[in-house]
Amino acid sequence: MRNFEWGKQHEVFLTQIDAEHRDLFRIADGLEKAVASQATAEVKDHLSTLIAHAEEHFLHEEWLMESVKYSAYGWHKQQHNTARKRLKLFAPLVESGESEAAELLLEFLDGWLQDHICVTDRMMGAYVRNYERATATNALERWGEPLPVKSSRGRTTTARNG
Ligand SMILES: [Fe+2]
């Protein structure tokens, strides 16, 4: 049975990343409810919100991993790319009202969120925390605030290079 509820088992102990994960679970839960009630407009809304928030979140994590020279960056990013491709592939089908596509996407999201957060993101969290202890820095000191956000042109900017 699917469960889009954030729990302690998903905690990676990085405040912003945990907040973004909670947000993704909340949006996925909304998408599941909209699909179940066949509310086409709501399905579209939740799906586009999910895609936008997921992309921003992936970019945050990728930026964070680069900033600590994380050795498993490529493996981690590959998993993000799998989710990106799946969302891109399924979005038009779900938007056109194909209920089977919506079910397949929800199944994928359920498994992917559990596996990716509980293993891959937790490993990243442990590495980042150790890096910050060893170098006595935190993310804001490394790059300057605020965290990078996607511009309207889809490019990532930060206070330092933007
Ligand atoms: Fe991740």
| CATH number of the structural domain 13-157 | 1.20.120.50
- What is the rounded CA–CA span in Å between residue 157 and residue 28? 27
Instruction: Share the mean pLDDT of the chain.
Output: 89
Q: Is the pLDDT of residue 9 over 70?
A: yes
Label residue 159 by pLDDT band (50, 70, 90).
Answer: very low
Ligand 1 center from residue 94 Cα (angstroms): 24
Rounded to an integer, what distance in angstroms lies between the CA atom of residue 59 and that of residue 52? 11
- Tell me what percent of the residues of the chain surpass a pLDDT of 90: 75
Q: Is pLDDT above 90 for 145?
A: no
What's the pLDDT band for 18 if we cut at 50, 70, 90? Answer: very high
Distance 55 CA to ligand 1 centre (A): 11
| Ligand 1 ion local residues (Cβ < 5 A) | 61, 121
Which pLDDT score, from 0 to 100, does residue 148 have? 58
Average pLDDT over residues 97-102: 92
Give dist(CA 24, CA 51) in Å, integer: 10
Domains of the chain, residue spans: 13-157
Determine the average pLDDT of the residues in 23-46. 95
**pTM, 2 dp:** 0.85
Q: Where are the alpha helices (DSSP H) in the chain?
A: 15-36, 40-67, 73-95, 99-115, 122-135, 139-143
